[in-house]
Each structure stands twice: as C-alpha cells, then as structure tokens.
Chains A and B, each alone.
Chain A
C-alpha cells in the first residue's frame, strides 16, 4: 500500500495510457472484455486518486521524480538544477485530479450505451483513455514543457473525439476548429516556455519560481502563456470556437472537454500563483483576469439566451460559468501583495472560484449528458422540435432539474454555495462585480427554465410517443454526477474545509511549492 501511494502519481498517468493501447487488441477479441478494461482501469485510477488525496492531506506536497533512486530526490548529488522529469502533486493538483477522475469515469460509463451504435468503438475508447492521460498529466506535472506535451495529447485526442461521428459535416467542422485553435495555442505556449528556458536554463516550475526576476522577457512570456491558455480555456473574446466544437461532440466527450478546459484554467492559476507569484505585478494581472472573467460571464449568458440548439445553448452557459471562476481567483490575485485584504476577502474569493470549479465540473457535464440523452432518443438537438419528453423520460427530467437548479445557484444546491462565497468576497473588492455576477445568475435561471419548458413539459408529441427512457449505463453515468451534486449540497462546509481551502492555500503558498523541488537535495 505504501509503495502504491509513493508511485501513484505516475501510475495515475500511466494506467490510462497503457489501457488505451490495450483497448484495440482486446476489443478485437471481445467487446465485453474491452468495456470491462475501460471501466476497471478508470475505477482503479479513481481509487488511486483518492488514496493519493488522503496522503496529501496528511503529508503535504507529493513529489515524484522519474528515474531517480528515490522519488523525493529532486536534486541528486547536490545538483543546483533539477534535471529529471518531476511530477509535483499538491492540494490544488489533486483537487483537479479528483474532478477529472470522477467525470471521466462517469463519461466512460455513459458512453457504453451512448456510443453503442457507432462503428470503430475500439478507437473511440483508445482516444478517450488518451485524453484522460493528457488531463491527468496537465494537472500533476511540475514542468512547463511536460505541461505543453500533455496539453497537446489532450487536444489531439479531444479533436479526434469531437469529429468522431464523421458522417455529420458539422462534427468534422467542430473538430477542425478545435485542433486549429489547440495547435496555435500550444505553439504560442511553447514559445513562452522557450523564453523562460533562455533566461533560467530550466523548465521546472519550482526552480523557475525560485529564480524569477520578472524582467521584460518574463512579462512577454507571461503574456504568451495567458494568451495561449485563454484561447484554450475559451474565454471571451477568444471563445468563438468553443460553442462550435462543444455542440457537435458526443455528449460524454463534451462533458470531458469541459474539464480539459478547466485544466487549462488550472494551468493559468498555476502559472500566475506558483510560477510568478509575488514577483508578479499582482494588481494589473489580477484586474486583467477579473475583466476577462466579467466579459466572459456576461457575453456567454447573453449569447445563450437566443440559442435553439440544446447543446449550443449549454456551451454558451459553460462559457458564462467559467467567468465566475476567473473573477473569484482574479480578485484573490489582485490582492496577493496585500496580506490584510488577502486575509479578509482575497482568500475567500479564491476559495469561491475554486469551489465553483468543483460544482461546475459536476452540474455542467450532467447537463450536457442530459442533452445527449435527449439527442439519443429524439435524434435532434433543436429545442423547438422537442416537447413533452417529461412524460416518458422521467429520470432524465429529474437529473435535468437537479442540474438546472444547481447552475442557477438556487439554495440549497451546491451552485448557490460557491456563488454566494464569490458574491460575498467580491463585493468587498468592488461592488459592481458582484452585481453583474448576480444579474448573470438570474439570466441563467431564466434561460434554463425556457429550455426546460420547451424540451420536457407540454403535451406528448405524436412523433415522440414511443420514446423510452435512456439505457441504464447512461443513467448510471449521470447518476454519479448527480450524487456528487447532492453530496456537495448537503455538506458544503465539509467540502470547503477539507478539499477547497487546502487547494486555495496551496495556490497562495508559493514557498511550499518551490520548497518541494528545491528542498529535495538530500542524497
């Protein structure tokens, strides 16, 4: 067990990678064995994430140096520069890891039925597992270049999955937009990595943070990172590709893409807090992030109101919700240099933003999956053509209501808990921000009620008389996420205290992150 915990960071990345390439030979022999392999490997990874999370909450940051005699040995033989590939898992990384493990497991179970009629399923699951690998790699790595590599793994497999149903012209178009955007963003990011390497001769985030001067080149590199990751996260004004790609992907893939988008957001926070940290001109960068968040929130929700395509409608809401997280964390970043303000509201603002990541990562995939369930049974994504589906799809209806109430921030559901934390703390920073955030929340509720009314209520339509409830695996996949929402709604205090606040402190405490790498010189 101890050995399993020690090696769990690399196992969490390696097991999906290995399973990805076993899927094809096993799938050719037996479909059932392949499905079992998929579910067992993802369930085992989830188990590893949970025991690693427990270990981190007790022992602090978990370092894993690849190829070293002992995993904690980051600086072998008293070297000054960490030369090996290092995974650094702190409370923030494992927080993202828990989300990614849960959502990918739910999405995989959902896809067992949702994709059952498609051809080439072996390749579908290979790509899905590769995407899981890429996501975990982005969250766990302590090295900027590896961040780029895993970003590209997630992007390439994600694009192929979006375009997986190649018989639809729009699916291929969405996939093409995604890969073009990802390639450009990835190369801009790589250019920034090169700039930092040119000055400090290292790629390790902890080492770079220790040596950081915040010179002109560093500012250029920061700008490149922010531009690249803003594109990849899908923030306004670089969000044009986002609804196009997310609408056409299979619903379970859209659910996972939401989390890869969060992983890019995590990379932004990691770079701002852990890489640049106190050397950063915190007020300027913080305000930039707050303003991007504010714009995203508002533009996303106003665009969503007009949509008639159910997936597109939800994609715009996903954009809008990400604005909350940027606003919360941006406010925290803006007061990073001011310990008093940080203690009174800055830390709460970051906690609110991070807690909203967790909540959004549960209700948004759930809503996308219910949209997928509607598409699975009716064959259309057009809300105007649907109607009266609540008569036959009762479980989907209930799950949709849970997701809707949560996204609109209705008490006592979890969306309320995180949004309230954001309103409360952001109000002390600047009241206008909190007012806009509340306004956006109201429009969100209004538009979701409209969508609910057009899809589920009303008399039974003749063409959907024989529509059945979706198959069990799809309900189980959605049920996992709904259970997570309900659990978080009942125990918001517990979640904030045990999972969210440690993640916030891990972001703020740059010294601990640096010490994880630079303190490991004991032979």
Chain B
C-alpha cells in the first residue's frame, strides 16, 4: 500500500486543487476571487492530465540527447499545453469583463453588481 502513495501523489494534489476551487466558486462573492478559483480549477485539471503522461521507466519525449529506452507518448503533454493556452484566453477575457463591470457598477461583489434577477 505504502509504495503507491508517491506514485499517486500528483493525483491527490490535483483532487485537492479541484476541491479548493469548488469551495471558492461556491462560497466566495468577490469576482476576482471567482476568477482565481477558475484558475486553480484549471491548474488542478492540467496537473491531472500531465500526471497521466508519466510512465515509470519512460523517457520524456524530447529528441535531443535522448537516453536509451522507450519514450512516453506525448499526448497528455500536448493536451495540457492546449488547455493552458485556452485557459489564458479565458482568464484574460474574464478579467477584461471584470474591469468593465467595475466601471459600470463600482463594485466587485457579485451580489451588489448584478442587475438581472428572476
């Protein structure tokens, strides 16, 4: 049992990050904190994906000075890169909108700045 814990460590960390982010998304009212929550969720998912790409004894799929032995398939790394790029775009767009919301309402509290109900 004990020997699995180091191998599973990245997955536990990913689960922890996802848990923290859901706590933030549900209980925090500040819009900037909400965005931070999404950033943490993204990190958790990315960590999970990149941890999947690890195979004991495999080499990183980088072709310069590669040691002897099998190489891992770089699909999870490619997924993670794509996901990071997408999240940069999403976070930038969200921050832009928060600036505009602040200009319109003068508040970052999601209860005070909302206009639409019902």
A residues in contact (CB < 8 Å) with B:
145, 149, 152, 155-156, 159-160, 163, 166, 169-170, 172-176, 179-180, 182-184, 186-187, 190-191, 193-194, 197-198, 201, 203, 243-244, 247-248, 303, 306-307
Taking a contact as CB atoms under 8 Å apart, the answer to whether B93 and A160 are in contact is yes
Inter-chain CA distance A183–B45, complex, in Å, is: 12
Please tell me which one of the listed residues B38, B42, B118 contacts residue A180 in the complex, with CB atoms under 8 A apart: B38
Given A159-B93, A183-B38, A184-B25: A176 in contact with B116 (beta carbons within 8 A): no
Q: Could you tell me which residues of chain B, from 34 to 63, have a CB within 8 Å of some CB in chain A? A: 34, 38, 41-42, 45, 48-49, 52
Do A179 and B90 touch (CB < 8 A)?
yes
- 8 residue pairs from A and B, CB less than 8 Å apart: A163-B97, A172-B101, A176-B98, A179-B90, A194-B48, A197-B76, A248-B116, A303-B118
- What are the 10 A-B residue pairs with the smallest beta carbon separation, nearest first? A169-B104, A176-B97, A172-B100, A244-B116, A152-B86, A183-B90, A170-B115, A187-B45, A194-B49, A198-B52
What class of interface size applies to chain B in its complex with A?
20 to 34
8 Å CB contact of A156 from B48, B52, B89, B115: B89
Q: Which of B42, B48, B113 interacts with A173 by CB under 8 Å? A: B113
A176 to B105, CA, bound (A): 14
Partner of B101, one of A169, A197, A247: A169
CB of A75, distance to nearest CB on chain B (Å) = 16
Q: Which of B66-80 contact A (CB under 8 A)?
A: 73, 75-76, 79
- Bound together, the chains give a CA A197 to CA B75 distance in angstroms of 10
Quote the shortest CB–CB distance from B90 to chain A (angstroms): 5
Question: B93 is contacted by which of A156, A170, A194, A244 (Cβ under 8 Å)?
Answer: A156
Cβ-defined partner of B75 (8 Å) among A155, A169, A203, A248: A203
B45 and A149 contacting across the interface, CB-CB below 8 Å = no
Residues facing A in B91-108 (CB within 8 A) are 93-94, 97-98, 100-101, 104-105
Q: How far is the CA of A183 from the CA of B94 in the complex (A)?
A: 10
Chain A residue at minimal CB-CB distance from B97: A176
| In the bound complex, CA of A244 to CA of B114 (Å) | 10
Asked whether, in the complex, the Cβ of B45 is within 8 Å of the Cβ of A194, the reply is yes
By the criterion CB–CB under 8 Å, are A169 and B105 in contact?
yes
Asked if B34 and A180 make an inter-chain contact with CB atoms under 8 angstroms apart, the answer reads: yes
When the two chains form their complex, are residues A149 and B82 in contact, meaning their CB atoms are under 8 A apart? yes
The answer to whether A149 and B86 touch (CB under 8 A), given A197-B75, A197-B76, is yes
The 8 Å CB contact of B38, one of A159, A163, A184, A303, is A184
Inter-chain contact B100/A163, CB cutoff 8 Å: yes
Q: With A179-B93, A180-B34 known to touch, is A169 a contact of B41 (CB < 8 Å)?
A: no
Instruction: Please name 20 further chain A to chain B contacts, defined as beta carbons within 8 Å, in addition to the given A179-B94, A194-B76, sorted by A numbering.
Output: A152-B89, A156-B86, A156-B90, A160-B93, A172-B97, A173-B114, A173-B115, A174-B116, A179-B97, A180-B94, A183-B87, A184-B25, A184-B38, A187-B38, A187-B42, A187-B45, A190-B83, A191-B48, A194-B45, A197-B75
**Residues B94 and A173 in contact, CB atoms below 8 Å apart:** no
- Chain A residues, Cβ within 8 Å of B114: 173
CA distance A197 to B45 in the complex (A): 13
Given A197-B76, A201-B73, verify A176-B101 contact (CB < 8 Å).
Answer: yes
From B34, B48, B76, B115, name the one whose CB has the most chain A CB atoms within 10 angstroms: B115
